[in-house]
């Protein structure tokens, strides 16, 4: 009888030890799996957050910029403005500003054969640095005017007219900055009242 009890006692302890080892492995496996998931999710949201908060997404959610957004998509500039760290400043013409452009001119620009011209026009409204309205005003305060170089190669001149912040292109076309300092993760958007550098 003692031998039977001894046998069952040994068997019980052996099973107990085996089950503890098994639980330990499972727990370690779960921990490793969780850590792996945590690591993978920590990188994906960062990239997604950049896209969601990018200057282009900010432009997309600004009702006054529907035409600018549509033209930017046609010109193939979206990836650069959404995924690139930048920084960028969008001097984005409003819907009303695009309506002032003669229809014939817009038809030519939106023709797929002329996409390089459309791209250059839009790049003349994009600056490869983050310019807040305060930074532009500070530069004007120091020098009377501020020169702004665009990605398309144009030079715009910023100055104050009465209490308004104004941009002028090489052909003396003037655009007032309206809604300003719409901040994104990779730059800033300013809404302007005229399409510049059309010539």
Within-domain flag for 18: no
CATH number at 158 reads 2.30.180.10
For the stretch 28-66, pLDDT in tens is 444 444 444 444 445 557 667 778 889 999 999 999 999
| Those residues with Cβ within 8 angstroms of residue 173's Cβ, 6 or more apart along the chain or in another chain | 194, 196, 197, 198
CA distance 130 to 136: 10
Which residues 6+ apart lie within 8 Å of 50 measured at CB? 82, 83, 85, 185, 186
Task: Flag whether 29 is in a domain.
Answer: no
Instruction: Give the pLDDT confidence score for residue 11 in this predicted structure.
Output: 42
Number of structural domains in the chain: 1
Tens of pLDDT, residue by residue over 61-83, are: 999 999 999 999 999 999 999 98
- pTM (whole model) above 0.85: no
- Give me the chain's average pLDDT, please: 83
Range of the domain at 104: 53-192
Which helix (H) or strand (E) covers residue 191, if one does? strand 187-192
In a domain, 73, yes or no: yes
Task: Give 171's contacts (C-beta < 8 A, 6+ positions apart).
Answer: 197, 198, 199
Q: What is the mean pLDDT of residues 72-96?
A: 95
**How many angstroms separate the CA atoms of 145 and 36, rounded?**
54
């Amino acid at each position: 009888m003692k031998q039977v009890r001894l046998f069952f006692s040994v068997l019980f302890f052996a099973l107990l030890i085996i089950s503890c080892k098994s639980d330990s492995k499972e727990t370690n496996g779960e921990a490793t799996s969780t850590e792996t998931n945590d690591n993978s999710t920590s990188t994906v949201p960062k990239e997604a957050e950049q896209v969601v908060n990018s200057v282009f997404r900010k432009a997309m959610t600004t009702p006054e910029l529907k035409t600018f957004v549509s033209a930017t998509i046609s010109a193939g500039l979206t990836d650069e403005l959404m995924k690139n760290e930048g920084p960028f400043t969008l001097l984005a013409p409003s819907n009303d500003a695009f309506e002032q452009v003669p229809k014939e001119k817009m038809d030519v620009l939106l023709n797929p054969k002329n996409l390089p011209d459309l791209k250059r026009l839009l790049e003349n409204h994009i600056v490869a640095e983050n310019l807040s309205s305060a930074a532009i005003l500070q530069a004007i305060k120091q020098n009377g005017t501020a020169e702004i170089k665009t990605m398309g190669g144009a030079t715009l001149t910023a100055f104050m007219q009465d209490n308004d912040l104004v941009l002028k292109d090489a052909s003396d076309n003037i655009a007032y900055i309206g809604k300003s300092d719409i901040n994104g993760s990779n730059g800033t958007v300013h809404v302007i009242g005229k399409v510049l550098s059309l010539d």
